[in-house]
Amino acid sequence: MLGINSKLQHNYSKIYRIVIVAITISLMVYISPSTSKFQYEFEQGFPWVHQPLYAPFSFPISKTEDQISSERNEIIGNSYLYFDVEESVADSVISAFRKKSNELFAQDSVSAEKYKSLFEAEGIELIRRLYDKGIIEDQDSLTNKSRDYIIKTIQNHTESQFEIQDFFTVTEAFDSIQSWTADIKRGKVLQITVFENLKANVVFNSRLTSEIKNQKLEALTTVYGKVNQGEKIIGKGEIITPEIYQKLNSLVALSEKQAGSNQSELFVYGGTLIFVSFATLLLILLVKSFSPYTYSETNSFTLILILFFLNYLMSNIPRVFPDIEIYILPFALFAVVLQSFFNSSLSAIIYMLMIMIATTFAPNAMEFLWIEAPVGLLAILLLKNLRKRSQLLAVILLIFLTSSVLYFGFSIIKEGNLINVKPVNFLWFATSAMLTLISIPIVYLIERIFGLISEMALLELADTNNTLLRELAQKAPGTFQHSMQVANLAEECALEIGGDALLIRTGALYHDIGKMKHPQFFIENQAGGYNPHNDLSNHESAHIIINHVLDGIEMAKRHKLPEKIIDFIRTHHGTNTTRYFYFNAKKENPDVNMEDFQYPGPLPFSKETAILMLCDGVEAAARSLPEYTAESINKLIDGIFDTILESQQLDFAPITFQNISTLKKLLQKKIMNIYHVRVAYPSS
């Protein structure tokens, strides 16, 4: 049992990787489509690069969404409005008029009866004249319609066609009454009495109008024409015209539908498993080859797999929700997040693999690849040397402009003109660019969850107004100046041989914070000629000097510095010895234990930690030179480099002899510049 536990603990990292990879592959297969995809990729406006294609079966040619929408709008725009002609309205209006007339002429006299008869006769004549033409109902559906707009009427089950101007509106009816009664005695009373009883007899029939319009819409076909089995659709090298493109899309839709109903899902999932497994394993191999440290670091490895899965999940969204356009989705977000935590080369490779796997679900794979890939790669290049937050805003603008220009180019190729390029489509890329801003809170969450450090965080930590650095400047001003000088040298070295300049600068600023505990015991902080080591034994002095590493680690953890920064504190002396005190102790006792004078390590394991060890040693030693000449500086740097290499301090760091030679020359030049040493030219 103990043996099994020991093996599990020893192989924990390998077991964890296997499990997390298996989970990632399983989730990707689970969210993948269960039906097969058409075997050929194609784009409108581009040549057909495959073998000649013949119809495997007869199929109708589907109309495009734009064609169907245009025909629907045409049907809706050309549909007639139907009105019912109600014959009984005139009689009901006359009856109401007579009743009102009786109320007006209620006096029991011969003259009143005479006037009443005349009033009624004139009023009934007016009403019949109005309804002989007809009064059309005021309707919202007639708003903005011209007077010659054609409508349909139904009267006695007979359909007729009229223009709006063939009928009175209510306003026109009143105007006509006024005109006809201008010379009649009691004309005003007659006008009011007739008008207040008027009702439209041409009434809008919304139910019939909707029914007939819906019948026409239902009769609208989504196909036109037909391709017969065996008929040639396109030959190799031929340009895919809009007509051929519609034939191909029709074939794709029908093929995938038949595949979904006839084939076993097991085969589809099997093929997907092979594809997804290969892509994931390729990702792992690329990470291991380009950044062994990232591969070995559990949190970084996990983050890459999570981002890989989320990218695959995002690319599936338009398949599940067809109304969502794929270009709205912020794929460049992954480029920004990757660049925030990993080096540019690794970020670019991972992002390219992400986009390649996302093309599986893109409707126009080639177009999608050539829009999203350059956008993400440019974002990575721009963020490579992040120094200001405004750079991220510039990246957002670049994402929008680049994707828009590339889409515009593809649209011209496909359409062959500018007419069909829809400006509204550029809102896709504006939305995608704005959504990329989500990377800011995402990066923050990743830092907290995975304990990783982004370039934004490094920028904040590298600010010398940071609390811990201000404390270092106050308690150990000499050490602070030494750290600043080392940071400058290390940054230049990193830029020269391809290291992470911002990371190493930040690490260098904090590498000696442990000296704050006993600043007076370090020569750069001593003033007035007094050296407290004179009152201590060699063992005690070595113990204090060595402990500045452990003290620094403790301080860094207390201030919650990221592990990547603490690594610089741990490794900047490696397993070197405090040579001065060791040799003094050895003079007193030849059998002294060297381990008592040795730093605890570990050894530098990255290019950046190796550079810091070299720069720290050179800068500290250069301060103790009695005189500064080209010869003395070169000799000093050669000696420090030789000592570090001979003691095998850089054996675990991915740094080459060519890198070391380059660093040696650069440091010689920089130290000479710092101490204003003239280069010794050979005499002629």
Residues 533-557: what's their mean pLDDT?
93
How far apart are alpha carbons 340 and 336 in whole angstroms? 6
Q: How confident is the model at residue 276 (pLDDT cuts 50, 70, 90)?
A: very high
User: Do 335 and 478 belong to one domain?
Assistant: no
Task: Tell me: do 502 and 582 sit in the same domain.
Answer: yes
* pLDDT value at residue 239: 86
Instruction: State the chain's mean pLDDT as an integer.
Output: 86
Which pLDDT value is given to residue 619? 94
Q: How far apart are CA 95 and CA 201, in angstroms?
A: 15
Q: Yes or no: say if 353 and 304 are a contact pair by the CB < 8 Å rule.
A: no
Higher pLDDT, 2 or 72: 72
Distances (CA, A) of 491 to 414, 497, 509: 49, 10, 11
More confident: 515 or 14: 515
Determine which of 6-15, 85-94, 190-199, 391-400 has the lowest per-residue pLDDT on average. Answer: 6-15
What was the pLDDT predicted at 185?
A: 64
Question: What's the average model confidence in pLDDT over 39-62?
Answer: 80
The structural domain count of the chain equals 4
Question: In whole angstroms, what is the distance from residue 647 CA to residue 624 CA?
Answer: 22
In a domain, 11, yes or no: no
pLDDT band at 624 (very low <50, low <70, confident <90, very high): confident
Beta-strand runs (E) in 183-304? 202-204, 223-227, 232-234
Residues 142 and 194 in one domain: yes
- 61 in Cβ contact with 206 (< 8 Å): no
Q: What is the pLDDT of residues 383-434, one digit of tens each?
A: 876 666 667 788 889 899 999 998 888 888 766 667 767 788 889 999 999 9
Average pLDDT of the residues in 73-82: 89
pLDDT value at 598 more than 90? yes
Q: Can you give the residue range of the structural domain that contains 229? A: 42-60+225-259
Within a domain: 404: yes
Which carries the bigger pLDDT value, residue 27 or residue 224?
27
Q: What dihedral angle (degrees, nearest 10) is formed by the CA atoms of 565, 566, 571, 572?
A: 60
> Does residue 528 surpass a pLDDT of 90?
no
Relative orientation angle of helices 88-104 and 110-133, to the nearest 10 degrees: 160
Q: What percent of the chain has pLDDT over 70?
A: 91
Residues 283 and 385 in one domain: yes
Does residue 683 fall inside a structural domain?
no
Question: Could you tell me if 105 and 47 lie in one domain?
Answer: no
* 469 Cβ neighbours under 8 A, 6+ residues apart: 463, 480, 509, 510
430 and 369 in a common domain? yes
DSSP string, 178-213: HHHTTTSTTHHHHHHHHHTT---SEEE-HHHHHHHH
Domain assignment present for residue 4? The answer is no
